[in-house]
Structure 1
Protein backbone atom coordinates (compact mmCIF):
# COMPACT_ATOMS: atom_id res chain seq x y z
CA UNK A 1 0.00 0.00 0.00
CA UNK A 2 1.48 3.31 -1.05
CA UNK A 3 1.56 6.57 0.82
CA UNK A 4 -1.07 8.08 -1.47
CA UNK A 5 -3.48 5.23 -0.67
CA UNK A 6 -2.87 5.65 3.07
CA UNK A 7 -3.44 9.38 2.73
CA UNK A 8 -6.70 8.74 0.84
CA UNK A 9 -7.93 6.45 3.63
CA UNK A 10 -6.99 9.05 6.25
CA UNK A 11 -8.75 11.79 4.28
CA UNK A 12 -11.91 9.75 3.91
CA UNK A 13 -11.99 8.92 7.61
CA UNK A 14 -11.30 12.57 8.43
CA UNK A 15 -14.33 13.69 6.40
CA UNK A 16 -16.58 11.05 7.97
CA UNK A 17 -15.48 11.95 11.50
CA UNK A 18 -15.99 15.65 10.81
CA UNK A 19 -19.47 15.16 9.35
CA UNK A 20 -20.73 12.52 11.78
CA UNK A 21 -19.09 13.48 15.09
CA UNK A 22 -17.77 17.01 14.63
CA UNK A 23 -14.23 15.79 15.37
CA UNK A 24 -11.49 17.52 13.39
CA UNK A 25 -8.39 15.43 12.73
CA UNK A 26 -5.03 16.05 11.11
CA UNK A 27 -5.11 14.02 7.91
CA UNK A 28 -1.41 14.26 7.11
CA UNK A 29 -0.37 13.29 10.64
CA UNK A 30 -2.89 10.44 10.61
CA UNK A 31 -1.32 9.09 7.42
CA UNK A 32 2.25 9.21 8.77
CA UNK A 33 2.13 8.62 12.54
CA UNK A 34 1.12 5.17 13.75
CA UNK A 35 0.29 6.26 17.30
CA UNK A 36 -2.03 9.02 16.11
CA UNK A 37 -3.64 6.67 13.59
CA UNK A 38 -4.28 4.09 16.33
CA UNK A 39 -5.96 6.74 18.48
CA UNK A 40 -8.15 7.87 15.56
CA UNK A 41 -9.11 4.23 14.92
CA UNK A 42 -9.99 3.80 18.61
CA UNK A 43 -12.05 7.01 18.57
CA UNK A 44 -13.85 6.04 15.34
CA UNK A 45 -14.78 2.62 16.71
CA UNK A 46 -15.93 4.12 19.99
CA UNK A 47 -18.18 6.64 18.22
CA UNK A 48 -19.45 3.98 15.82
CA UNK A 49 -20.75 1.90 18.72
CA UNK A 50 -21.89 4.78 20.98
CA UNK A 51 -23.70 6.78 18.31
CA UNK A 52 -24.66 3.94 15.95
CA UNK A 53 -22.46 5.08 13.06
CA UNK A 54 -21.58 1.83 11.26
CA UNK A 55 -20.10 3.60 8.21
CA UNK A 56 -17.07 4.59 10.34
CA UNK A 57 -16.06 0.97 10.98
CA UNK A 58 -14.82 -0.07 7.51
CA UNK A 59 -12.65 3.03 7.23
CA UNK A 60 -11.26 2.54 10.73
CA UNK A 61 -10.37 -1.03 9.75
CA UNK A 62 -8.68 0.14 6.54
CA UNK A 63 -6.62 2.69 8.47
CA UNK A 64 -5.70 0.08 11.07
CA UNK A 65 -4.50 -2.27 8.32
CA UNK A 66 -2.33 0.56 6.93
CA UNK A 67 -0.57 1.31 10.24
CA UNK A 68 2.21 -1.30 9.80
CA UNK A 69 2.97 0.17 6.37
CA UNK A 70 3.34 3.71 7.72
CA UNK A 71 5.65 2.51 10.49
CA UNK A 72 8.12 0.86 8.12
CA UNK A 73 11.46 2.66 7.94
CA UNK A 74 11.42 4.72 4.80
CA UNK A 75 14.27 4.82 2.34
CA UNK A 76 16.30 7.96 1.88
CA UNK A 77 15.12 10.44 -0.70
CA UNK A 78 17.44 11.55 -3.47
CA UNK A 79 17.83 14.90 -1.70
CA UNK A 80 18.83 13.23 1.59
CA UNK A 81 21.35 11.00 -0.19
CA UNK A 82 22.88 13.95 -2.05
CA UNK A 83 23.08 16.08 1.11
CA UNK A 84 24.83 13.25 2.95
CA UNK A 85 27.31 12.80 0.08
CA UNK A 86 28.09 16.52 0.05
CA UNK A 87 28.58 16.56 3.84
CA UNK A 88 30.93 13.58 3.66
CA UNK A 89 32.87 15.02 0.72
CA UNK A 90 33.37 18.42 2.33
CA UNK A 91 34.87 16.92 5.49
CA UNK A 92 37.70 15.15 3.70
CA UNK A 93 41.08 16.90 3.76
CA UNK A 94 41.86 16.22 0.09
CA UNK A 95 40.50 19.54 -1.15
CA UNK A 96 42.87 21.98 -2.80
CA UNK A 97 43.05 25.23 -0.89
CA UNK A 98 45.08 27.97 -2.45
CA UNK A 99 44.98 30.50 -5.21
CA UNK A 100 45.70 30.79 -8.87
CA UNK A 101 48.96 32.48 -9.93
Structure 2
Protein backbone atom coordinates (compact mmCIF):
# COMPACT_ATOMS: atom_id res chain seq x y z
CA UNK A 1 0.00 0.00 0.00
CA UNK A 2 1.18 3.48 -0.75
CA UNK A 3 1.12 6.24 1.85
CA UNK A 4 -2.25 7.67 0.84
CA UNK A 5 -3.86 4.24 0.75
CA UNK A 6 -2.58 3.45 4.23
CA UNK A 7 -4.06 6.69 5.51
CA UNK A 8 -7.35 5.95 3.73
CA UNK A 9 -7.42 2.42 5.16
CA UNK A 10 -6.89 3.72 8.70
CA UNK A 11 -9.59 6.40 8.24
CA UNK A 12 -12.03 3.81 6.90
CA UNK A 13 -11.20 1.56 9.86
CA UNK A 14 -11.94 4.42 12.24
CA UNK A 15 -15.24 5.01 10.45
CA UNK A 16 -16.05 1.32 10.86
CA UNK A 17 -15.49 1.54 14.62
CA UNK A 18 -17.52 4.74 15.03
CA UNK A 19 -20.45 3.50 12.94
CA UNK A 20 -20.48 0.24 14.88
CA UNK A 21 -20.54 2.17 18.13
CA UNK A 22 -23.10 4.81 17.09
CA UNK A 23 -25.64 2.90 14.95
CA UNK A 24 -24.51 -0.74 15.18
CA UNK A 25 -23.63 -0.74 11.46
CA UNK A 26 -20.49 -2.38 10.12
CA UNK A 27 -18.83 -1.51 6.81
CA UNK A 28 -16.31 -3.25 4.58
CA UNK A 29 -13.11 -1.26 5.02
CA UNK A 30 -11.22 -2.84 2.11
CA UNK A 31 -14.13 -2.39 -0.29
CA UNK A 32 -14.44 1.24 0.74
CA UNK A 33 -10.83 1.82 -0.29
CA UNK A 34 -11.24 0.38 -3.81
CA UNK A 35 -14.83 1.23 -4.81
CA UNK A 36 -15.83 4.87 -5.23
CA UNK A 37 -19.59 4.22 -5.23
CA UNK A 38 -19.43 2.24 -1.98
CA UNK A 39 -17.23 4.93 -0.42
CA UNK A 40 -19.70 7.68 -1.40
CA UNK A 41 -22.59 5.76 0.15
CA UNK A 42 -20.69 5.08 3.37
CA UNK A 43 -19.74 8.75 3.65
CA UNK A 44 -23.39 9.68 3.11
CA UNK A 45 -24.43 7.17 5.79
CA UNK A 46 -21.85 8.51 8.24
CA UNK A 47 -22.93 12.11 7.65
CA UNK A 48 -26.54 11.12 8.38
CA UNK A 49 -25.61 9.94 11.88
CA UNK A 50 -24.99 13.48 13.12
CA UNK A 51 -21.76 12.91 15.00
CA UNK A 52 -19.17 15.71 14.79
CA UNK A 53 -16.34 13.20 14.82
CA UNK A 54 -17.87 11.29 11.92
CA UNK A 55 -18.36 14.53 9.96
CA UNK A 56 -14.68 15.41 10.37
CA UNK A 57 -13.73 11.87 9.40
CA UNK A 58 -15.88 12.10 6.26
CA UNK A 59 -14.13 15.32 5.28
CA UNK A 60 -10.73 13.64 5.66
CA UNK A 61 -11.82 10.59 3.68
CA UNK A 62 -13.13 12.75 0.84
CA UNK A 63 -9.85 14.67 0.79
CA UNK A 64 -7.64 11.54 0.74
CA UNK A 65 -9.64 9.02 -1.33
CA UNK A 66 -8.08 8.84 -4.82
CA UNK A 67 -11.34 7.77 -6.53
CA UNK A 68 -13.62 10.43 -5.05
CA UNK A 69 -13.81 13.88 -6.62
CA UNK A 70 -12.07 16.53 -4.58
CA UNK A 71 -14.38 19.00 -2.86
CA UNK A 72 -14.14 22.31 -4.67
CA UNK A 73 -13.10 25.30 -2.64
CA UNK A 74 -14.96 28.38 -3.85
CA UNK A 75 -12.70 31.22 -4.89
CA UNK A 76 -14.07 34.60 -3.85
CA UNK A 77 -14.62 36.96 -6.74
CA UNK A 78 -12.64 40.16 -6.63
CA UNK A 79 -14.67 43.04 -8.00
CA UNK A 80 -12.72 46.08 -9.08
CA UNK A 81 -14.09 49.20 -7.46
CA UNK A 82 -13.53 52.27 -9.58
CA UNK A 83 -13.87 55.86 -8.59
CA UNK A 84 -17.04 57.56 -9.79
CA UNK A 85 -16.63 59.80 -12.82
CA UNK A 86 -19.08 62.43 -11.69
CA UNK A 87 -18.94 63.60 -8.13
CA UNK A 88 -21.60 66.35 -8.09
CA UNK A 89 -22.99 67.20 -11.50
CA UNK A 90 -22.89 65.84 -15.02
CA UNK A 91 -21.42 69.07 -16.52
Give the TM-score band, short-chain normalised: 0.5 to 0.7
Q: CA deviation at 1:70?
A: 3.8
- SS of residue matched to 2:58: helix
- Is this contact kept in 1: 2:46–2:54, CA < 8 A? yes
4+ residue segments displaced more than 4 Å: none
Q: How many residues align?
A: 66
Gaps of 5+ in 2: 69-91
> Paired residue for 1:3?
5
Which structure 1 residue ranges, 5 or more long, are not aligned?
A: 72-101
CA positional deviation for 1:21:
1.0
Give the structure 2 partner of residue 87 of structure 1. Answer: none
Q: Does 1:63 align with 2:61?
A: yes
TM superposition score normalised by structure 2: 0.65
Alignment correspondent of 1:54 = 52
Report the Cα offset of residue 55 of structure 1. 1.5
Q: Distance in 2 between matches of 1:31 and 1:23?
A: 18
Give, in whole Å, the separation in 1 of the partners of 2:64 and 2:35: 11
Q: Partner residue of 1:12?
A: 14
What is the distance in 2 between the residues matched to 1:13 and 1:27?
9
